[in-house]
Chain A
Amino acid sequence: MLLETKMTGVRYLGSASGSQPFSSADDAVEELAKLTGVDYGYRADASEADRLAAIAKARRWWEHGGEVAMHDRITAPRAVPPSDLSRTDDELAAIARAIDDPRTRKDAIAHLAGAHSYIVQRALVTALGRSSDEADRRAILAALQPTLWALPSIADVLARPGDARTRVAAANRMYDVLHASRSFVRIEIRDAALDRARAVANDARDPADVRAAAARVVASWSAMAERAN
């Protein structure tokens, strides 16, 4: 699907960004990023040229080692439902426990295949704060839905010292949360998260890519956050 780059539809990206044409490859690269936890630099609100560049980057990744890296998961897929929405309460509790336990966390997250239940989301947010394994933290960030209540934990990852790739991933997830949130009401935790992103963007001690990602988050929220400052 990454080859299907013909723009066949339109996506509404919120009042700040308006509508954008999109292709099947846009969907594919988003899903691929979620499944692999790799950041291809794809942003839903970027220009068509930038999005196509990110899609090309994902294709290169796939062709130069990505497919091999994913071999085990591809050839031995588990019989998992498409998401957790049809899971029972007991099953959800078991998933939450598996995410909570550092020994089973990696496997549990790898096999989430779509985490929508707030019980699973809560377990992921809690694990994000507890885990010190950077790969786990990136996988958690990729699995998080763009829910506002996860924002303080995501902002924590961005603002605190750690692996630059994880912090960039946190900035990207923060961007998604902000754009999914409603803009017609002031939200205290959103303002606080934006303040933290602003501080990172202005802190010369932080890595350049982290600062750039944080700056992008702040700039993207121009409609409200920048309204009067």
Chain B
Amino acid sequence: MGDTAAIEAEGLVKHYGKTKALDGLDLTVSQGTVYGLLGPNGAGKTTAVRVLATLLRPDGGHARLLGHDVITEAATVRRTIGLTGQYAALDEYLTGRANLIMIGELSRLTRQAAKRRADELLEQFDLTDAASRAVKTYSGGMRRRLDLAASLIGHPAVLFLDEPTTGLDPNARVLMWDIVRQLVADGTTLLLTTQYLDEADHLASRIAVIDGGKAIAEGTPAELKASVGGQRLLITLAEGSSAPAAAAALRPFATAPVSPNEGDQLLDVPVTAADGLATEVVRALDAAGVKVNDIAVRGASLDDVFLTLTGHAAEESREQEKEEVTA
């Protein structure tokens, strides 16, 4: 079982009317890793998860989970997966504990085992005090935790987390990240979708950038960042210094053309990392008579990766995803 990929998808296609939610998605996720599906709303992340979790039949392509086909062996696949969607899928009127026991029993646990697992998970997720309260009295963060606990009750080998922190406040978000890290330490394979670049950066060992229903880039976070040209130079000019003159002086260092307007004070220049880069840059600018207030060299962020690959920022087109989900 060790060699089998946890998730293997080839050419997945899914249409909603004329919209292509998935347009030939390929994916390979090794066992025991966290894989991030990163993309803007409407990119097809949720559709991908729904296909892999056997909720949705693809129109084309095929996918296997731990070697089992998601269409022809759906029942087997369901025994190995856990799913936590964007909205806490719980019974509002039952207590937290009753929800977990119910999901446990439906996950083929005996009632005794379901009760035992429910109490273990309530303890782990710091929900013991709220265990006998109806879920509708829970805060957003507590619901997400309970929801995640519910998807873990049957010890799934592969866990899908669809935007686990969307809508959470920063504290709840960090708490969720900690839980995810613990899960990985436990050996669970995790497929995580997110539109937050920092989230993918923090949690995932590999990332696929999804746009328009297919993966447009794939690799470790470091590889992806390196692919957009290493580092960036952020320069703040002093009052009265000419931005075009500065740009001309920086041309030998830049890996892409920079053409600022007269009057710009901030320059953002992609460069190749090199020893003594800042010193050289300052000398060149001084020689050109350009005065500088601040200079910084930073690594490319996933934001840069995203912008470079998709031509738009990460959090655009919110409405599109809504349509996709409710279609």
Chains A and B form a bound pair: no
What residues make up the interface of B, taking CB atoms closer than 8 Å to A? none
What residues make up the interface of A, taking CB atoms closer than 8 Å to B? none
